[in-house]
């Protein structure tokens, strides 16, 4: 591991497979002490939390869930004290599994909604692809990644470089409206296109509101501390994207 760090100067050291041994057995403290005090990346490197069977979501630069689980229980809905990242495959396996069929794979819509859920809760999504034995990326995985990329091409402003909005309503399994924040701007991400006005409380009067990827005029009002957005007339012919829609509320923070 020291040779890898000395040779390649990584930004991130992401360890795994720690659950069978304690950090003492793995000599993790010895390595981390060298990494942070003597290594060539001591001032910039970031590490995860997989350094012994007792360390997941307790020690490390950032925490990692896996398929929404940590080794000691369910992490759904929890607020982590440190930056965190959800690690998972598109289906149930990390490597290519020829026993998995279509129904075992998350749909593009499910994956986009998963990304939104993690980012709105202050996390990151690490989505794995499993190559075949001869190094090919399965077409179904290519298709899922292309669809996520197409959605991000329109709505990436509401994902990249954003943070969790501290005044956001608590997220539950039935949540359809999520929030992210960047500077003084708030992004309302809805996974189901609204048919009634969207109500946002806890913000100041915005300077404007627009639907990312669209030039349609958005009608809105601000009264008694509540901002109301009238959903525009969106059809399959003029919708800027699929799966979820992002309203940018400028100057609302």
Query: Model-level pTM?
Result: 0.93
Digit-coded pLDDT (tens) for 2-17:
999 999 999 999 999 9
What domains does the chain contain, in order, with CATH numbers? 2-158 (3.20.20.80), 165-250 (2.60.40.1180)
* Residue 78: pLDDT band with limits 50, 70, 90: low
Does the pLDDT of residue 75 top 80, yes or no?
no
CA 243 to chain centre: 16
pLDDT tens-digit map of 28-58: 999 999 999 999 999 999 999 999 999 998 9
pLDDT of residue 71: 56
Task: For residue range 188-212, list pLDDT tens digits in order.
Answer: 999 999 999 999 999 999 999 999 9
Amino acid 214: pLDDT: 96
Tokens 């965190």: give the residue.
Answer: 84
Confidence of residue 216 (pLDDT cuts 50, 70, 90): very high
Per-residue model confidence (pLDDT) at position 81: 78
pLDDT per residue as tens digits for the range 107-165: 999 999 999 999 999 999 999 999 999 999 999 999 999 999 999 999 999 999 999 99
Mean predicted confidence (pLDDT) in 165-189: 96
* Region of poorest pLDDT, from 27-31, 69-73, 112-116, 177-181: 69-73
> Average of pLDDT values for 170-178?
94
């Amino acid at each position: 591991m020291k040779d890898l760090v000395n040779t390649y100067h990584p930004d991130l050291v992401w360890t795994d497979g720690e659950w069978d041994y304690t950090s003492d057995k793995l000599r993790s403290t010895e390595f981390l002490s060298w990494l942070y005090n003597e290594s060539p990346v001591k001032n910039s490197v970031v590490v995860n939390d997989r350094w012994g069977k007792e360390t997941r979501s307790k020690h490390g630069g950032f925490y990692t869930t896996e398929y929404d689980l940590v080794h000691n229980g369910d992490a759904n809905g929890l607020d982590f004290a440190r930056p965190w990242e959800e690690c998972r495959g598109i289906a149930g396996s990390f490597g290519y599994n020829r026993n998995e069929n279509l129904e075992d794979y998350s749909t593009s819509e499910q994956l986009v909604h998963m990304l939104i859920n993690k980012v709105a809760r202050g996390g990151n999504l690490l989505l794995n692809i499993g190559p075949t034995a001869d190094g090919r990326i399965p077409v179904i995985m290519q298709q899922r990644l292309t669809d996520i990329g197409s959605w991000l091409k329109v709505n990436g402003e509401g994902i990249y470089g954003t943070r969790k909005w501290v005044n956001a309503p608590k997220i539950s399994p039935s949540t359809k409206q999520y929030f992210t924040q960047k500077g003084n701007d708030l992004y309302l991400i809805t996974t189901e296109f609204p048919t009634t006005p969207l109500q946002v409380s806890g913000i100041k009067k915005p300077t404007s509101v627009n639907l990312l990827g669209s030039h349609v005029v958005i009608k809105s009002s601000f009264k008694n501390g509540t901002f109301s957005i009238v959903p525009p007339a969106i059809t399959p012919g003029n919708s800027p994207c699929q799966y979820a829609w992002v309203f940018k509320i400028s100057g609302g923070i």
